[in-house]
Chains A and B, each alone.
Chain A
Amino acid sequence: MIEETLIPKLGVVTDIRIDTPDVKTFRVVGLDGEKPFIHVPGQCAMLSIPGVGEAMFSITSSPTNEEFMEFSIKKCGCLTEWLHKMDVGQEICIRGPYGNAFPVESDFKGRDLLFIAGGIGLAPLRSVINYCRDKRENYGHIDIVYGSRSKDDLVDYREIIDEWCADKDINVYLTIDREQEGWDGHVGFVPNYVKELDFKPTSTAVVCGPPIMIKFTLAGLIELGFDKSQVFTTMEMRMKCGVGKCGRCNIGNKYVCKDGPVFRCDQLDELPNEY
């Protein structure tokens, strides 16, 4: 019988990192110790625990990482709560990779890149950011704007500080929503910060975060002179199959699991506003 995508492979959780009070990053490898499969930045995988549930998560590690895959997961439902409770050594069902990818080898190539993330929205961007960092020569200047509710809610804070900020030709701009003790960085919402920073509309922007943040950031970018065709985002929808058959993750005629999750903002304009 032919291989069936709906039948998952097994992986094992080899490391669990607590990022924020409600986000943990799980390191997963196949039972053979290898990566379960090869992916490109922006793609997702279906993780499941039998009897608990199955859900789609973006792969937060870069394809350039050849040892393992990582998933940064926010606690928000039945399955994620279970994942947050589990210990290292837990086996987990995994299938994928699903969806399209950021055009790292086409549209992005040779361009200045501006990554804008809010909260857990950093998870899908981390893959592409690290990919671009690892293939630094292919891309121009990189700016990263990342904001969260508070300092404690900044995902991957250590990596950002230790690695990204240390990179010479990468500018990292962090911001939190409200003043907080022990925080001497910028305070304010991401969309406003983006406008304040007055980025040149020559770069290609990638935005990910809560819908409301995407909406205002996009408006801000357009104000700064960005064209919608220069702005990419990645979407989230209810998914079951991951292969464009179960019929629930469509926005208009596009299936987020198959035709997405990465969309160019001018493409979204042609689709019904149902996300």
Chain B
Amino acid sequence: MQMNDNTFRPKIVAFCCNWCSYAGADLAGTNRLNYPADVKIIRVPCSCRVNPTFVLRAFGRGADGVIICGCHPGDCHYTSGNYYARRRMTLLFSMLDYLGIERERTRVEWVSAAEGAKFAQTMNSFVETVTKLGKNKRLEDLRCKK
């Protein structure tokens, strides 16, 4: 969000699996646990639905950080989805790091439906980290700049 004062606010896209992390985010809400409004959640059925293209797309369109949340390994609603997501995202993030994109802009976190507090805390720390990094310049699509 663009605040009136000129302090930088990051754009954060969070992909949350429907069964655990989205519910975890809801629980954070129910418990009125604060985290910055910079985080916007996209609901996906499972963390394994997150295509690397989505992550890159987000960065291209001006996101400053992308976080993927899923069920804890072993707890996937679909038994194995998060295991695949874990491999994919590990490799993708490692590749982004390799290309010199700040590694702290990406994160995977396992948040169960019961972990509202963890969700809020994760988002707080992620937003803080990304805010420190500042604007994503290395992986943004210049054409999409305003």
- Direct A–B touching, Cβ under 8 Å: no
